[in-house]
Amino acid sequence: MITRYSLPKMSGVWSEENRFRSMLDVELYACEALAKLGKIPKSALFQIQKRARFDVERINEIEKETNHDVIAFIKNVSEYVGDDAKYIHMGLTSSDVLDTALAAQMQGACDILIDDTKKLLKILRQKARRHKRTLMIGRTHSVHAEPITFGLKMALYFDETSRNLERLKRARQAVSVGKISGAVGTYANIDPFVEEYTCKKMGLKAARISTQIVQRDRHAEFLTAIAITGTSLEKFATEFRNLQHTEIGEVEEHFAAGQKGSSAMPHKKNPILCERMAGLARILRANAHAAMDDMVLWHERDISHSSAERVILPDSTILLDYMMDKFSNIVAKLVVNEDRMLENLNRSKGLVFSGKILLELVNKGVSRNEAYDLVQRAAFIAKKDGIDFIDALLADNDIRSILGAKAIEEAFDIKYYIRNIDRIFRRVGI
């Protein structure tokens, strides 16, 4: 991933240094297990643990000759260890090391994403509480529907983000699995104890069954959870972009001192970060699709998944980490124009209260179809003549004779529409 969209901690998880460090850990723990089984002399294990190290530049140099990164890695480590290096990688195949080390990297990456999500949840909770009763119009089909509050919108995003947190936790569990079972998963040349011991030391579970590799449905689940989480951010950001329309103007991205919106139009304040969320989420979804393609390998394995994973795993985790950081700042600094929300709510001149009038007529014994036609008639007259909806209702003899003026006026009480907001907030844990 390019530096522009990378944060240091997550990038460090996927650095070549950390990758080979994880691979070396697998090799050393495997040697410890083999020593416990009497397969490696204790003196040799001591020398291996004392001398084992690697140099990334040297590994890359050797790989130019071997065209095999694991062999290059082992050869480089052997240069430091000396004669006792003959015990390193004993009974293992390349994927035993690669997949187990990769699991540790994915686990570390997921831990960062989980922390990111918890931070976003905290900010969304604060925003929801602050605007719990900040009135605005709810929209369906982009058209005024009924009153809501901005806090209710934030509570909805909080609840969805809570589900994303659970998805990431499940994904972490799914990928925290290693394997050291040999070339086709039969333990022909390695004792199962080595797998159990090594995985435990690495903070992983041993796969119940494997081929030469850990099965890629786990990785697909991981990247799908990431893609869903990123798409949630896109969804939230898209709503902010819509609410920032000049004609709506209810929220705005924070515009810092010295920031510029357009090279040609000095007046512009554009929702560039929200738009960036939309663009980057597309990459996450594409990468999740590639991860599902990686599930389908020939026989006990081929290598078609490897090249894709070298791109999609670092890129997706790095991107979501970046997106989480940026979107948390978007929400924290979001400019909420409460007066404009109230102004827009009132623009329809009371038409948004039509549902309550409909129910009041039904409660008086009018059939739903007849009640609907009566209210619709008054609504269309109000809109056509540019008058307040309540005046159109009061002028309608049929409706007024059924409900009376007082009931009509009471139906326009905004409290009716937000009377259950406390219950909703409690239900989602805010």
Question: Are 202 and 25 within 8 A, CB to CB?
Answer: yes
Residues 329 and 404 in one domain: no
Position 100 pLDDT exceeds 80? yes
We report the CATH number of the domain holding residue 406 as: 1.10.40.30
Residues 209 and 261 in one domain: yes
Per-residue pLDDT reduced to its tens digit, 18-57: 999 999 999 999 999 999 999 999 999 999 999 999 999 9
Position 270 pLDDT exceeds 80? yes
Q: Examine the residue annotation and report whether 401 is marked as an active-site residue of this protein.
A: no
Residues 122 and 232 in one domain: yes
**CA distances in angstroms from 7 to 113, 271, 313, listed in the order given:** 12, 22, 15
- Indicate the pTM of the whole model: 0.94
**CA distances in angstroms from 412 to 146, 243, 355, 367, listed in the order given:** 11, 25, 10, 22
Position 353 pLDDT exceeds 80? yes
Residues 274 and 357 in one domain: no
Confidence at residue 265, expressed as pLDDT on a 0 to 100 scale: 82
Position 211 pLDDT exceeds 80? yes
Strand ranges inside 117-182, DSSP E: 135-140, 143-149, 177-178
CA distance 104 to 70: 17
Domain's final residue, options 342, 370, 386 = 342
Contacts of 127 (CB under 8 A, 6+ apart): 151, 154, 331, 332, 334
Q: Could you please report the per-residue DSSP string of 47-75? A: HHHHH----HHHHHHHHHHHS-HHHHHHH
Q: How many CB atoms are located within 10 Å of the residue 400 CB?
A: 15
CA distance 425 to 399: 36
Domain's final residue, options 303, 318, 342 = 342
Confidence at residue 275, expressed as pLDDT on a 0 to 100 scale: 95
CA distance 206 to 36: 18
Q: What tokens appear for 145 in the block?
A: 């529907």
Residues in the chain: 430
Domain's final residue, options 313, 342, 371 = 342
We report the CATH number of the domain holding residue 321 as: 1.20.200.10
Per-residue pLDDT reduced to its tens digit, 150-160: 999 999 999 99
**CA distances in angstroms from 311 to 190, 194, 207, 285, 421, listed in the order given:** 31, 30, 24, 14, 45
User: Of the candidates 53, 77, 52, 75, which has an alpha carbon nearest to the alpha carbon of residue 63?
Assistant: 75
Residue 137 belongs to a domain: yes
Position 200 pLDDT exceeds 90? yes
Residues 298 and 359 in one domain: no
Residue 51 belongs to a domain: no
Residues 326 and 358 in one domain: no
Position 89 pLDDT exceeds 90? yes
Position 430 pLDDT exceeds 80? yes
Residue 271: which pLDDT band, with cuts at 50, 70 and 90? confident
Residues 173 and 268 in one domain: yes
Residue 182 belongs to a domain: yes
Domain hosting residue 386, numbered range = 351-411
**CA distances in angstroms from 337 to 233, 252, 253, listed in the order given:** 21, 8, 11
Residues 302 and 390 in one domain: no
Q: Which residue among the candidates 141, 142, 263, 267 is catalytic per the annotation?
A: 141
Question: How many domains would you assign to the chain?
Answer: 2
Residue with tokens 């059924």: 402
Residues 142 and 249 in one domain: yes
Residue 68: which pLDDT band, with cuts at 50, 70 and 90? very high
Question: Which of the pair, 157 or 256, is modelled with greater confidence?
Answer: 157
Residues 104 and 126 in one domain: yes
Which residue type does 226 have? I
Residue 429 belongs to a domain: no
What average pLDDT score do residues 364-375 get? Answer: 96
Residues 321 and 376 in one domain: no
Residues 260 and 359 in one domain: no
Q: Examine the residue annotation and report whether 141 is marked as an active-site residue of this protein.
A: yes
Residue 56 belongs to a domain: no
Residue 248 belongs to a domain: yes
Question: Are 241 and 274 within 8 A, CB to CB?
Answer: yes
Q: What tokens appear for 362 in the block?
A: 């039904």
Give the chain's largest Cα–Cα span.
Answer: 103
Strand ranges inside 60-203, DSSP E: 135-140, 143-149, 177-178
SS3 label, residue 405: helix
Residue 23 belongs to a domain: no
User: Of the candidates 224, 197, 262, 237, which has an alpha carbon nearest to the alpha carbon of residue 25?
Assistant: 197
Residue 93: which pLDDT band, with cuts at 50, 70 and 90? very high
Residue 427 belongs to a domain: no
Q: Which residue among the candidates 68, 245, 262, 367 is catalytic per the annotation?
A: 262
Per-residue pLDDT reduced to its tens digit, 6-16: 999 999 999 99
Per-residue pLDDT reduced to its tens digit, 105-114: 999 999 999 9
Confidence at residue 419, expressed as pLDDT on a 0 to 100 scale: 93
Which residue type does 360 have? E
Per-residue pLDDT reduced to its tens digit, 114-171: 999 999 999 999 999 999 999 999 999 999 999 999 999 999 999 999 999 999 999 9
